[in-house]
Every structure is written in C-alpha cells, then in structure tokens.
Structure 1
Amino acid sequence: MSLSLRHSITQYFSEIAFQGKSANEVVATARKNNHDDIGYIQECLFGTARHFFSLNFILNQLLEKKLAKKHSDLHSLLLTSLYQIEFLSTPDHAVVSESVETARELGKEWACQLVNGVLRNFQRDKKALWLAAENNAEAAAELPNWLIKRLQNAWKGKEKSIYTGLKQKPPLTLRVNQSHPNFSQAFKILEESNIGYAKHPTVSSAIILDTPVPVEAIPQFDQGLFSVQDASAQLAAWLLPLSKGDLVLDACAAPGGKTAHLLERYSVDLIAIDNQQSRAQKIHENLQRIGLNASVLVNDATQWKNNRPFDAILLDAPCSATGVIRRQPDIKLHRTDDDIYPLVKLQRALLDNCWNQLKAGGYLLYATCSLLPDENNKQIKRFCRDNTDAQVVQLDPEFQGLGTVGEFGLQLFPNNSQDGFFYSLLRKTV
C-alpha cells in the first residue's frame, strides 16, 4: 500500500468516527477522487467501523494514556492499522513501517515512536489482548453500552445471537425482477457469468450471492433484471395485499427499492414520497433503470395530503436502523440513546397522517429496520390503542418463521440470510 493511500484511509476514517460523516458518504467521496483502490479503502473503513469497539479497547490497553481529541487523525491511523494487521492480508511489517511514515506525513513526528511501539506490541501480545477484549461488554458485542442494555432488556436470551448477527459481514442479496422479460433465464444468466448464488429459502424473489461482486459485474443489472436488496426489505412487497388498479402510497420511499418491487409485482397507481430532493432523485433513477413509472413527490409525509384516499400504504418509517448495523456499521458510532425518542415521535406523526389518508378496508404496512420495541411492537400497540379502527392482520404463516411473531407484528433478526426488520400489517376496519 502506498503512503498516500494509507494517509487517505486515515483521513476518511477520521471523518466517519470523529466528524459524524456516514461511511457511505465518505466512500462516495473517495470514489469521486478516482481512487484505484476503492475496494480496499471501503474494506478498511467498514471493517474498522465494524470492529471499532474491540479495536478501540485494545488500543487503549496499548497506550499509556488515551489520545486527546485533537489527535483524532492519529487515533484513526492506529485503529485502521490494527484492523489491517488483524483482519487483512497486508504484511504486518508493511503496515507498521508505512503507519510510522504516515504519522510523519500527518505532521506528528513525535508520534512515530508511539505508532511503532503500539503496533509492534499488538503483534507480540495480540492473543492476550483479544482475550481481555472478550471480557469487556462493548468490545465483545461490538456495540455501545446504551444499545447493549436496550437489546438485553428487549430480547433476553436472544441478545448474543443478535450481537453475532450484527458483527457479520452482510451478504450481497439480489432481487430478481419477476416481471422482467428475461426472468425465466435469470439464474442461467448468473451461472453463465460464473456468479454463484443460493435462493433464499422463503423469499422467492431473493437470491444470495456466494461472494459479493460490484454491481457493474452483475449481468443485466442496468436493464433491470436484478436489483440489490436484502431479503428482509424485499418482504414488504410480499406482505402488503394489493390488487390491480389500487391507489398506493409509499410514504418514505427513498431510495426506491421497495417502490420498484411493488411495481414489479403489481399493476397499481403508485405515489412515492420523500422529503429531500436528492433522495427523491434516487427513486427516479431506480425506477428509470428498471423501466417502471410512479409519481415521485418531494414532500413531508407527516403533513402531506392527497385528494383521494389510498387503497394501501407502505410506511417504511425513519428509525434507529439498529437492525442493519452489519450493513452500515458506522450507525453504532453515530447513534445515541437520546436519538430514539425523537424517532418514535416522528414515527407516530407519520402513522397518524398516513392512517387518515387510508380508505376504510384498506391496508397499511408499517416497517422499520430497527430491533427496538419502542419503534416497533410498542409503537403499534400505542397506535392501536388510540385508533380503534386499526386491526392487526396476521401475516402469512410462510413468513412467520423468519423471525419472532408478537401481538403487533413480526420481528426479524440479523443472520446469514437477512437483516433485522420489523413489519406490522394493519387493516382499517369499516
């Protein structure tokens, strides 16, 4: 690895861990900077974020005193270097020597000896350090304490499997467009491109690739035969009952994956809303690639009103995203316990406004990618208490085995084949 690349990785990770930028945003910037090593950069950034709590615990064991906030660049250099030594195939001696030189490039000549000592001591003592990390709650779970406590309270007996699921590298799951002219040849097309896959055992539109590949390498991706979408997210289009000609609202639609899947499955009149122009543009781009049409509006779904009631509504509400941490590991660095109540309030406002626009006899599918009951079961329990015309509909039994069925919905947990998600199907009684 060149010194300039290691320097770039250090700066990029500092932006994620200490400046609050999203990993996806930082990787997009790196891509625009025409890095030839974008794959390696992404692996280092996402991997270090995924193992942040254990690596940071180990780093603090190796330091005589914690680094000051003003040295966040040095902090990032050490964390990403520890990740490369432990998890990547880069030769250890190269990581050490280049990290020392990068400290010098950062204008921290005084830290060269520190960097050298920390990394060499890690090489020597790593077995004992990892054993110590296993006895630290945050390091063992790779999660912040506030989230550990919430998960323990909510899912006693399941929490360790949840931690394991959230630490995994996620698979690349594709959605097969079952309305595409080449649908019958989809699997053959993948095989001809030497792309190994497994069909999802329950969600028939989902296939999980043996090894992730860039979307550019997926045949007929640009022609809309395949889309990237986790199996849990694909479930939305299977759970919302629709009929031909229905008027449907996708209330928080960006980036448009669920919008597109609904249109692939049903011939309906669909309105998709998001509150940001840039996000609404993503919906347009997704639909254009697949060759589908919807009315895409930029508006606030807590206040927007339509002149006709809807037959069905999909409300994929903004949430803590705690169920997709393995896919977006920077979430655990940015999210705090104080974020949850404002999200719950926003979800309530969205539910209330959407419900008022649903016709009697219509269906609303409430979805989050959260693992927290306050956003899920408790949210729907409150809603049903306040709206006596809201009836929880039992989901198709074939999907119930994907997670835990509660009184107010289905909770999916992160595992080898799916992200964490919650679904509740409500019918507006006549």
Structure 2
Amino acid sequence: MHRFRAVIAALTLGVPFAASAAEITRIASSFEDDDPFDLFVDVGFERTQTRAKIVREQLPHAPLQPGQPAPESVREVNELWYKGTDARLNLAVAFGLWKDLEFSFKLPIVFQQNETWNFVSGTGQGNSTITNSCFDADGSPYKDGADGCAGRLFQVPQRSYRGGLGNMHFGLAYAFFNQEKDDTKPTWIVGIDYEAPTAKQRDPSLGNTDPDGDKGNVGDRVHKYQLYTTFSRKMGRAEPYFKASHTIPVRGPGANSNCDQSSTNPGNLGAPGNCYKEPWTRKETGIQAPSQTALTFGMELVPFENASKSQKFTLDLRLLGNYVGRGRYYNELSSALRKLLTSDDYLQVGGQLGVTARAASAFTIRASGNFLYNTDHLLTTEAIGQDLNGDGTVDTAPGSPELNPTFDWRYDTVSRRFRAIQSTTFRFDLGATFSF
C-alpha cells in the first residue's frame, strides 16, 4: 500500500488532488448555481500534409490479359511521389444547453486542398507504366498505339487545386460524471458529432489542374456520424485521459457515382454499358466512404498554474490510432485518374505533442503537432463484378452484365494495381479559445 502511494505521489509530483477538466473533456454547462451560462468560441488554423510513395504491381513477364487467372506473384515498381496539402481555418462555437449538456457547431474554411504527383528518382516518361500504358479501360489493347503500349493514364508531373467552405459540423455531448463537481469521480463524456454534406460537391472527373482557374470543390456529399466517449482523471499535476470514437458514413443525396461519366467519358469505365442497370445502380457504383474507428491515449501535465489569476500552462502528450475501412472514395490518385477509387483498409498510428496556455479565464491559446504513419494499402482494387447467375464465377467476357462498370482493367487488375507505401501525415494546429 505504501509503495502504491509512492507511485501516485511521483506521478502527481507530490501535489494534492484537485478537480479540473482536460482540454479533451472540456464541456460547456449552463444553469449551474455559480455559472448560469457557458460559451466557448474557438478559432484555429490547421495545416495537414500527407506524403506517400506510389508503386505499381507489374508481372515479371507479359502483362495479364482479360480472362487470364491471377498470377501467383507480382513485383512492384516505383512510380510516383504524392503530396497532399490541406490548409483551413476552423471556426467553432460550443454552449451549454443544460447542466453538463453541450451543443457545438463548427465550420471549416478550406484555403487550399492541393495535390501534386511527381516521378520518383529513376522513373520518367520513357519507362513509367503510367505514360506507357498498354490497355484501354475495357481491357482491349490501346487503340492508338502502334505497339499497343503508347497510352497514358495521366500527365506527370501534375498538380490539382481545390478549396472553399467545408462541411458543417453539429455536436451534442453530455457529461455523466464531472470531476469539477465531484472529485471522487473522473470526467466521463459521451457525444455525437454530425458532419453534414453542406460543402459544394467535388466532381471526380475534374482534375482542376489550372492554378489560375477556378478551384475545385471539396464536398463529398456524405453524412458522417461520429459516436465517441472520453474519460479523464486529474491527479495533481497529471491528468491521463482516453477517447474512443467510431465514424459511420451514410451516402447523401446527389452523391457522385463513377457512372456519371458513362455518357461524357465512357473511356474511363471498364463496362459503361452496364451503368444504371441492375445490379449496377447509382447506389452500387457511387461513393462508399469508409467507416473509421479511433483510439486516443494521452496525458496532460501542468508545470505551471496560478489558480488565483486563472493562469495555466499545459503539456499534452498523446498516442493515436485510427482504423480506416475499405471503401470507394477520393484517395491519393482520384484527381489524377478522374474517378472515385476503391482503397483497401489501413491503419494510422502515431502521436501528438501539444501546449496550451491560459492567460486568463476568458482566453486560451494552444498549439499542437501530430505525426501519423499510414500502413501500406492498395489504391485501386475495385471488384471486377458480381456472380449474377450463381455459377460460382464472374463472367468477364466483353458485354457481360456481370462486369462492374466502374472496374478498370488498366489498374484494378491484379498485376497493374497501385499501392501507397511509406505514407505519412503531419498536422499542425494553432488556435485560440474565448470563454464567456
């Protein structure tokens, strides 16, 4: 027992227990006896950069033809460096509806959502499989090439430019326990964040490659419901916390479908004639955003605090993990290939370091940086079709109704697929909170 107390004393730096909420378990509460109304106004600048190497499967012998069985092994060749940059201003308001019941609203203003693709060292126009593609989307040999391999999937190098108002967020959170009111219990919050598809719809068929032209839109027309719970427990100058969340996507009205190109650009689809025919409905060929499950473990440390002047300086250390499910959506190659692409599931793991300085009870500034490693994952892995007649196989003959119209023989076929490797994401956030 004495040893346990010594460990706790070391963790808390010998400071007596005191109740206070960590930033992650902050909640606006109104109609309290000593605090009739809580209002938080947050303004923050956020910049996120993702970098990845894109490789492509390649057979050690002749390219796979339509109808051939998948090879036992393929090698991967280096193709591109990808970089995506997102810079935005986040405006948020949270206020108490009742005791420990908070409503929140957030609107992001996306200054830029730009992407670039460049060849890796040792790859160029002469030897890249991107600029020397052998087939059309339906699997037939490239029609305009004398040797069958003079096609081009997309221009390299290339840039894409987008921006505008992002999706609005609406949130509701309730604290079942609040350590500020009862220091015998931790702070425990359960909430839901709803991301509404309010941003102008992004058209995947538009690359938006002109820096002097209009920027492309950033909306995906998908409802996203994030359910989450957070715990924190103040122990002197240390406050460990935990957060778990799960995001459920639901396709919204007018969401994009690759079959929208069946009349304007049928050459970008493997079987455009199957579009909008059962079972290849707009829903089946449209965006299928991935679900996500995230876990956060962290601790706030308070090296300085002056309670009489409401001043505090906090260090925030976090471990982050996020599982991104399989889905058809906008990934690292969508703007280049002008389509919604099906990505395999992958993990994001990393950490975050942040600092918070409260100069007075009404004003707080914060800064943080986090780093995530994204595990290797396929970027083009669309299903080839569905077995409609129950014979146990998918008929891949030209004109077959079983062929998935959005499947592309050029890069969804095993031995031609693209994969993202060595992928990392860095995010920097700088913001301020005004409390009323």
TM-score (norm 1): 0.21
Per chain length, whose mean CA-contact separation is higher, i.e. which structure has more relative contact order (CA < 8 Å, sep 6+)? 2
Counting helix residues as a fraction of each chain, which structure ranks higher?
Answer: 1
Bigger CA radius of gyration? 2
Instruction: Name the one with the larger strand percent.
Output: 2
